[in-house]
A and B are shown apart, each in its own frame.
Chain A
C-alpha cells in the first residue's frame, strides 16, 4: 500500500509566482498540495504543512513581505506555526516570515545591487529541523536563487542569539548577496519554521537541472505526514 499523501497548503498572495512550481514539486514528492488564497482565514482541514512561495507579493510595496504579513491567512499560518506545524518560506515567503516576526532578521537589497539568478551551492549547517533531518551536517546542496533582496541581516545581539540556538540552517559556500555570514536560510528556535532564499521547488527534477531541493521538500513532506498521522490518533 502506498503511503498517504499528506496535505501541504501552498499560499497564493497577489503577486506570488512560484506557487505553481511549489505545488508541482510537492505533488511529485508525494504530497497533496492545495492552493490557499491569501484572503482565507483558515487552512484546509487536515493541513500537515504550509509553504509560503516565492514571488513579489503585493508588488513588494513598502518592504518585501510587509503587506503580505497582514493578509488574513497569516493569522492561520501563525497559529499553525505556534502549534509546531512545519512552515517553509521560500524567497518572498522567507521575507514574509521575517516581516511577520516568525523568523529572525530581515532581508535587504543585495549588496551588489544586482538581481542574482544562478544555481548556487549551500551547505547544511543544522540538521535540527524537519527540513534537514535526513541531511548530513555539512552536506552540499545545489539550488537556484533568483532575487534582488536576499541579503539577510541581523544586528550583533540577534545574530549571536541565532547562532547560539543553531538557527542558521543553510549557508552559501560563496557570497551571493552580501548576507551576514553568508546565511542562506534560518529557522525559528524550535526548527519547525524555515525560511530560505534558494528555491528548492525549482530543483527537484533532474531534467531541469540540479536536484538540491529534494531533501528539503522531502523533509517537509515527511514532517507533514507525521503531523497528520499523529492528529489522526
Chain B
C-alpha cells in the first residue's frame, strides 16, 4: 500500500521560504499572489487495509512526520 503525506506550514505560520519562492517567480515574470512551501513524504506499508494504513500514517504524522505546532498534514492513499 502506497500513501503520500502532504505537510504544510499551518495557516498563520510565517513561511519565508514561500515568500522567497513567490518573489523569485515574480522576477521571472510569473504572477503569483501567494506561495507556501511544504514537504511530501511517500510511504509504502505492507498491508492491504487502506483504512488501517491511513490510521497508522496519521499516527506517524502526529509523532514524527509533522510538528502539530507549526504544520498541518494531509494523508493521501495512493492505491487501495
Q: Which residues of chain A have a CB within 8 Å of any CB of chain B? A: 62-63, 66, 70, 99, 105-106, 108-113, 151, 153-155, 158, 178
B12: A residues at CB distance < 8 A? 155
Assess the A99–B20 pair: CB atoms within 8 A: no
A66 and B69 form a contact (CB under 8 A): no
Q: How far is the CB of B40 from chain A (nearest CB, A)?
A: 12
User: Are A113 and B67 in contact (CB-based, < 8 A)?
Assistant: no
Instruction: List, in ascending order, chain A residues with CB within 8 A of B65's CB.
Output: 62
Known: A66-B64, A70-B64, A113-B20. Contact between A158 and B69, CB under 8 A?
yes
Chain B residue at minimal CB-CB distance from A113? B16
Query: A99, A109, A112, A158: which has the most chain B beta carbons within 10 Å?
Result: A109
**A151 CA to B20 CA in the complex, in Å?**
16
Contact of A111 among B14, B67, B69, B70 (CB under 8 A): B14
Among B19, B20, B70, the residue within 8 A (CB) of A106 is B70
Give B68's nearest chain A residue, CB to CB. Answer: A106
CA distance A109 to B19 in the complex (A): 12
Task: Give the distance to chain B from A83, nearest Cβ to Cβ, in Å.
Answer: 24
Within 8 A of A (CB), among B34-80: 39, 64-65, 67, 69-70
B13 A108 Cβ-Cβ under 8 A = yes
Inter-chain contacts of B20 with A (CB < 8 A): 113
Structural contact, B69 and A155, CB atoms closer than 8 A: yes
Instruction: Give min CB distance, B39 to chain A, whole Å.
Output: 8
